Amino acid sequence: MATARYTEAVGRRKTASARVRLVPAGAPSVTVNGKNADVYFPIPEHQALLRAPLSVATETYAVTAIVRGGGIAAQAEAVRHGIARAVESLHGGARADLKKAGYLKRDPRAKERRKPGLKKARKSPQWSKR
């Protein structure tokens, strides 16, 4: 039994990490952690986020993603980053469009660490004169 060839890429955002596989297929489908992407990400903005890099590709793909860590928004962006990387490795010509849209750049913003003597990263305790 011959298996379909796939392209794999890793996408990250904050503490979320996604392993994405693109398989050339007749019917496009997106599966995240064994569920349909529309079920896993019920918010329409997150669903649109996932499918954005696929609009650059000329072919249709079946996408399978395993994502761990982070929140729902970070997971959606991690999957988008992985899909964009996989599409770029398949279609070198799509790199300019993906890069212009900002899909290939890993978003480096993350929560700042808490410092000693402070309540949060930068919030200080209430000051009392006496």
Domain ranges of the chain: 7-101
30, 42, 5, 25: which is closest to 82 by C-alpha? 30
| pLDDT, average across residues 41-70 | 91
Answer yes or no: CATH 3.30.230.10 is held by domain 7-101. Answer: yes
pLDDT at 12 > cutoff 90: yes
Computed over its alpha carbons, how large is the radius of gyration of the chain?
Answer: 19
pLDDT at 3 > cutoff 80: no
pLDDT digits (tens, 9 = 90+) for 63-99: 999 999 999 999 999 999 999 999 999 888 889 999 9
pLDDT at 29 > cutoff 70: yes
